[in-house]
């Protein structure tokens, strides 16, 4: 399960972070014409890794991740939960369903949000960008979370509000559930063909009941 835009209201200024990241890349003479504000920092880093000196790449990644962490810590002080999100988590736990968080946010901001709302006990695994060499849309963090929960891709579903969540789920061989509560429109989410599209995470228990009833495979 993703966090921002899924169980918390999306309040991160990613466009501002991208502008700052691009300025830093320009300063280091590493920016190329295709690096624009429309491309996520993670995609920029992935492309940069293929052509940059390894030492330069490590330095750039550290600087950009520090930039993101500062933004995330500020946002975590003000973020709010979606109405009904806690009740949904309680409902899932009451059914002995394991829940993991897989977020491209850093560990510090994630832990602060979970602590503010006393949510940590609901999750059996928490994987952030500080825990995995790769981030969504790569499948690695999802597979890491599944490993921590002793679950297989066929036993799981990935719930998220972003295109990267759906792409990561597909790459990991896990059924994908898009929720239209983040910055992406339903139309944009449908373009990447999630297995299910919900109005919010609060519809998840009903979807799980339907999957169990019909005997659908979860992957």
Number of folded domains in the chain? 2
Of 50-54, 80-84, 137-141, give the lowest mean pLDDT range. Answer: 50-54
pLDDT at 219 over 70: no
Same domain, 66 and 170: no
Does residue 5 lie within any of the structural domains? no
Query: What does the alpha-carbon distance between residue 219 and residue 196 come to, in Å, rounded to a whole number?
Result: 11
pLDDT number for residue 218: 42
Res. 216 pLDDT band, cuts 50 70 90:
low
Q: Which residues, in sequence order, are bridge partners of residue 81?
A: 8
Query: What does the alpha-carbon distance between residue 92 and residue 72 come to, in Å, rounded to a whole number?
Result: 27
Same domain, 65 and 166: no
pLDDT at 217 over 60: no
Q: What is the DSSP string of the chain?
A: ---BTTTB-----HHHHHHHHHHHHHHTT---TT--TTS-HHHHHHHHHTTS-HHHHHHHHHHHHHHHHHHHHHHHTT--BPTTHHHHHHHHHHTT---EEE-SS-HHHHHHHHHHTT-GGG-SEEE-TTT-SS-TTSSHHHHHHHHHTT--GGG-EEEESSHHHHHHHHHHT-EEEEETTSSS-HHHHHHT--SEEESSGGGHHHHHHHHHHHT----
Let me know: does 209 contact 88? Beta carbons within 8 Å.
no
Does residue 3 lie within any of the structural domains? no
Does residue 108 lie within any of the structural domains? yes
pTM of the complete model beyond 0.75? yes
CATH number at 183 reads 3.40.50.1000
Mean pLDDT of 50-62: 86
Q: Which domain holds residue 58?
A: 14-76
């Amino acid at each position: 399960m993703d966090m921002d835009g899924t169980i918390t209201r999306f309040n991160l200024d990613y466009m501002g972070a991208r502008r700052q990241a691009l300025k830093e890349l320009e300063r280091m003479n590493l920016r190329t014409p295709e690096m624009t504000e429309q491309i996520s920092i993670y995609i920029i880093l992935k492309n940069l890794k293929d052509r940059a000196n390894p030492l330069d790449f490590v330095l750039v990644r550290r600087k950009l991740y520090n930039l993101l962490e500062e933004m995330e810590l500020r946002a975590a002080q003000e973020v709010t939960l979606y109405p009904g999100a806690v009740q949904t988590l309680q409902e899932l736990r009451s059914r002995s369903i394991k829940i993991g968080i897989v977020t491209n946010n850093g560990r510090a901001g994630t832990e602060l949000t979970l602590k503010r709302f006393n949510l940590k006990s609901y999750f059996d695994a928490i994987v952030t960008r500080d825990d995995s060499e790769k981030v969504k849309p790569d499948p690695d963090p999802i597979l890491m979370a599944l490993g921590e929960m002793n679950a297989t891709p066929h036993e799981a579903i990935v719930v998220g509000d972003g295109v990267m969540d759906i792409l990561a789920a597909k790459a990991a061989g896990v059924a994908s559930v898009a929720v239209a509560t983040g910055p992406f429109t339903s139309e944009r989410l449908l373009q990447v063909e999630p297995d299910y599209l919900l109005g919010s995470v609060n519809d998840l228990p009903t979807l799980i009941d339907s999957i169990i009833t019909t005997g659908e495979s979860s992957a």
